[in-house]
Amino acid sequence: MAVKIGVAQCNFVVGDLVGNARRIVEAAQAAHAQGVQVLLTPELAICGYAAEDLFLRPAFVDACDHAVQSVAAQTAHLKGLHIVVGQPLPVAPSGAAEHPGGRSVGRAPCLNAASVLCEGRITHRYAKRELPNYQVFDERRYFVPGEQPCVFEVAAGGRVHRIGLLICEDAWHARPAAETADAGAEVLCVINASPFHIGKGDERERAMRDRVQQTGLPLVYAHLVGGQDEIVFEGRSFALDAQGRVAARAPSFVEDLLVVELDETPAGLDVRGPVAAVPSTEADLWHALVLGTRDYVSKNGFPGAIIGLSGGIDSAVVLAIATDALGPERVRAVMMPSPYTADISRLDARDMAARLGVRYDEIPIGPIFERFLAALDPLFEGRPADAAEENLQARIRGTLLMGLSNKFGSIVLTTGNKSELATGYCTLYGDMAGGFAVIKDVTKTWVWRLARWRNAHDPFGRGLDPIPQRIITRPPSAELRPNQKDQDTLPPYEVLDAIVERYMENDRSPAEIVAEGFPAAAVDQVVRLIRVNEYKRRQAPVGIRVTHRSFGKDWRYPNTNHWHG
């Protein structure tokens, strides 16, 4: 046997330096018991990813380094084990340089670094060289790039092995890997915090295969797992042999200690380990939403979640996600029928709550709605009923849900999807009122796909068919006026979602979208609605990112904007 490399695929908590250090020590003890010589932790493991403007506080960066020193001391007895710990390091002992004005950071104060610990000492340090500044990444705000490769030596199997270290974005570029290989590395070890979006797992394996083919070296990819605000990390750490074949893979969306064995043979290093199956796209998306919800609720100390259950498809999917994430005992569904709520909506809501075993309450809002109308009637005199009266109902519901949240401490999960958020088909201080937007980045067509998938699969043992079939097959309606249907005012969702994907996610122009065969009137309508509803999205709660561009950190458009494109 040559060398064993372990990957601590852990769920760290941003800012919990003591807890994160404890997780690393526990992983190191478990790895050492299995004969591992090198243990990789994810990028910025000691502080969690991403700590954002905490990196601008010298005291935070210093505390991170003290936590790494603590890990070194607590693992000093693990003979022969090299532990790679991701951490921020100050550029200079004095910390961040100030702008001449004294209030703004004049330059990035940190390095995105990794320390190699062995028997109580820090033997090597490496600074990330390629700093991403696209999509949700903003690393140049906090970090300056490193300049040198890092190769450290590990004695195992009767000889010394040379381990090359890279951090995440480094491995997406040719130069850092090439220089690490030129420095004598025999295997590339990459520590990462790479946010999930649909298809990203396959993208990573393809990109790392390029590095292997470029350098001729096997590669071990250590990845983070867990939810952090709007971002989810799915794990799925892996190893590639020198031919670029997957030789080991950890499961997705769970913590794991992946042990990869590299044995010398006459043909080179033989790489092997357990290989987890790749889930379907629907399974990946469902697990990402469940993990993102569970971690946001639990890491922020909420005792549970409250959901306004309407009898429609969106709230049904959110309820199923929340129950899978938290268990029925931590989920409360509230049905708030109005004079326009269909009887079947109430029946289906009751049915679904019973199937999942969650607490279910009904609060009719008709009397409250009438009181609001009576109070406003003198001011509305002479004007026809319109969206103002419709939105009152949504705002009454939002007020009731937030009242329950304040009283019992549980967080309100909003139920709006990406299609609605894109077009403004949602009500400020109404259905947008809440603390976390579970399906904020899931289009309506994907909501239906997920509902069908969840009815056919039971990944968390809550039961098959949690969503009544009629909820899936009924035409969607906000039920804020008689006989209302979404398609009264919006294009069919298969058209709308395709336009949103092209225009919002992929920056295609309206003319290019029309040239693909989409109706010009629908394209103009959707693009106009996206533009004029920016002010609503700015006030929406944070929600889980599952596409390569969401209405979150990677969407930064001005509210006041007269450019129509």
Residues with Cβ within 8 Å of 166's Cβ and at least 6 positions away in sequence, in order, are 176, 177, 180, 188, 189, 190, 191
307: exposed, middle or buried (C-beta count within 10 Å: 0-12, 13-18, 19+)? buried
Q: What are phi and psi of 8, to 5 degrees?
A: -90, 85
> Active site includes 485?
no
d(CA 445, CA 543): 18
Among 538, 435, 443, residue whose Cα is nearest residue 493: 443
Among 394, 429, 405, 227, residue whose Cα is nearest residue 332: 405
* Torsion over CA: 166, 169, 174, 179 (sign): negative
Pairing of strands 159-167, 150-156: antiparallel
User: At 397, is the secondary structure helix, strand, or coil?
Assistant: helix
Q: Please pick, among 168, 189, 230, 536, the residue that the annotation labels catalytic.
A: 168
Q: Which strands make up the sheet holding 238-240, listed edge to edge? A: 150-156, 159-167, 187-191, 219-222, 238-240, 246-249
Q: Which strands make up the sheet holding 411-414, listed edge to edge? A: 359-362, 331-335, 305-308, 411-414, 436-437
d(CA 116, CA 72): 9
User: At 385, is the secondary structure helix, strand, or coil?
Assistant: coil
Q: Please pick, among 43, 130, 234, 479, the residue that the annotation labels catalytic.
A: 43
User: At 152, is the secondary structure helix, strand, or coil?
Assistant: strand
Cis peptide before 50 (omega within 30 of 0): yes
Give the number of other Cβ atoms within 10 Å of residue 489's Cβ. Answer: 13
> Active site includes 64?
no
Among 483, 489, 486, 512, residue whose Cα is nearest residue 499: 512
DSSP 396: H
> Active site includes 536?
no
User: For 146-173, b where at least 16 C-beta lie within 10 A, e where not — what string?
Assistant: beebbbbebebeeeebebbbbbbbbbbe
Secondary structure element (H or E) that encloses residue 321, with its range = helix 313-326
User: For 11-42, b where at least 16 C-beta lie within 10 A, e where not — what string?
Assistant: bbbbebbeebbebbbebbeebbeeebbbbbbb
d(CA 152, CA 122): 12
Q: Please pick, among 10, 110, 118, 128, the residue that the annotation labels catalytic.
A: 128
Q: What are phi and psi of 476, to 5 degrees?
A: -70, 145
Among 180, 127, 192, 184, residue whose Cα is nearest residue 153: 184
E strands, 139-294, where? 150-156, 159-167, 187-191, 219-222, 225-228, 231-234, 238-240, 246-249, 256-265, 268-272
d(CA 253, CA 288): 7
E strands, 231-280, where? 231-234, 238-240, 246-249, 256-265, 268-272
Compute the radius of gyration of the chain from its Cα atoms: 26
Active site residues: 43, 128, 168
